[in-house]
A = this chain, B = another copy of it.
Amino acid sequence: MFETLKGTIIHAPEPGKTEILEDGYLLLRDGAIEGIFPALPEGCEPERAYDFTGKLVIPSFADLHLHAPQYAMLGMGMDLPLIEWLNAYTFKTEALFSDPVFAREVYGALADNLIRLGTTRVCIYASIHRESAHILMEELERVGVTGFAGKVNMDRNTAPELTETPEGSLAETRRFIEECRARRYKHLSPILTPRFTPSCSDALLEGLAKIADEYDVPIQSHLSENDIEIELVKKLCPDCEGYWDSYARRGLWRDGTIMAHCVHSDEAERAAIKDAGVWVAHCPDSNTNIYSGVAPVRVMLDEGIRVALGSDIAGGAKLSMFHVMGEAIRASKTRYYYSGKREEERFLAVSEAFYLATSAGAAYFGAGPGFAKGDMLHAAVLSDETLPPSRKLTSLERLERLIYADDARCVRAVWSEGVKRF
């Protein structure tokens, strides 16, 4: 079946390179992108034609790091220092997800809002609870959000009700993966999710590495987020070459592993990231809210490290990737201001933030850059009708002010995996 979307088509195949076709056509065949055309190819008679004239059609967003249960505590407790925040909010909230009814309510709302905000690809953490992790997958499937979701593993340094035994945690993880395969989720796959070194024993990490081999599943965790955590890892792993090595020597440092934050990753750690093919999920809003510092994103891009964006709710206070793009730029400008390295570390431009939130993240899921031929369509249609009156704007200016406006009402339609979902 042929389908067309008519509108101003904007995508960013490379950082800083934004391609625009005014009043063009996106042509789909059975949900897959045939191409972008200034006029419909001769003889093409689409079964469905969507007219979004006057609106912008952009690739939908990928969120490479977020904690689903923390959606229930979004924007709360932000005055507290990290450890108090974890104890007063995070662990108490995550413990509630032993209740499948509560999980259904929160994950259902999260899924609905992800799709309405134009986020169609995620790498997402559930809690330690296997049953709730399935509920998360079901709810994401229901609305058409695609990607990877993980049952969290923790066997030390957390709240008692969230502390697993290494054996129990590994058994539940195996069972989770096998159930995922049996249930045949269409657009979601399991991902191994050891929370981070401080909350995972060597035995647990080594066991997860075996599971990764056995089932061929990827891994996500946290790395070098803030000073206190980094000091703790040094104590827990005194013989490690660096924080990264606490994962590497347990077998989890591999191609396709996602590490959130990397705010304080030094040259050696960044080299290890690049050499292994590890991905960085940059979470600017969270890093600012928890005053962790600002990750050296410009340096990572220059070094060829694969970096994309994460909302990291609820360290991040908003689910919207518009907000995350805005905060990525603001954080980058802050680093630019304070670092004194104005020549070497130019702040992120709007077009670069747009690239990071779309093509860079989508690549993790195997997508080509921008609206790549052959890919199933992931797209969001944006209207700027409700934004302030202005002189006639270029399409790039329209995109820029939509990003800064961060107004959920601007998203008018969303395609995920070739299907219109909103």
Contacts and interface: CB of A to CB of B under 8 A. Distances in A.
Interface residues of A, number: 54
Nearest to A333: B291
Interface in A58-84: 71-79
A293 B337 contact: yes
Contacts of A404: 74-76, 78, 317-318
Nearest to A75: B404
B106 A388 contact: yes
Interface in A265-315: 288-289, 291-293
Interface string A348-391: 01110000000000000000000000000000000000011111
B389 A109 contact: yes
Contacts of A231: none
A250 interface: no
A71 B388 contact: yes
Q: How many copies does the complex hold?
A: 2
Is chain A's binding surface mostly helix, strand, loop or mixed? helix
A326 B317 contact: yes
Interface of A: 71-79, 93, 96, 102, 105-106, 109-110, 113, 288-289, 291-293, 317-318, 326-327, 329-330, 333-334, 336-338, 347, 349-351, 387-391, 393, 397, 400-409
28 contacts: A72-B388, A72-B389, A72-B391, A73-B390, A74-B387, A74-B401, A74-B404, A75-B400, A75-B403, A76-B390, A76-B393, A76-B400, A76-B401, A76-B404, A78-B404, A79-B351, A96-B391, A105-B389, A106-B390, A288-B334, A291-B334, A291-B336, A291-B347, A318-B405, A318-B406, A330-B330, A407-B408, A408-B409
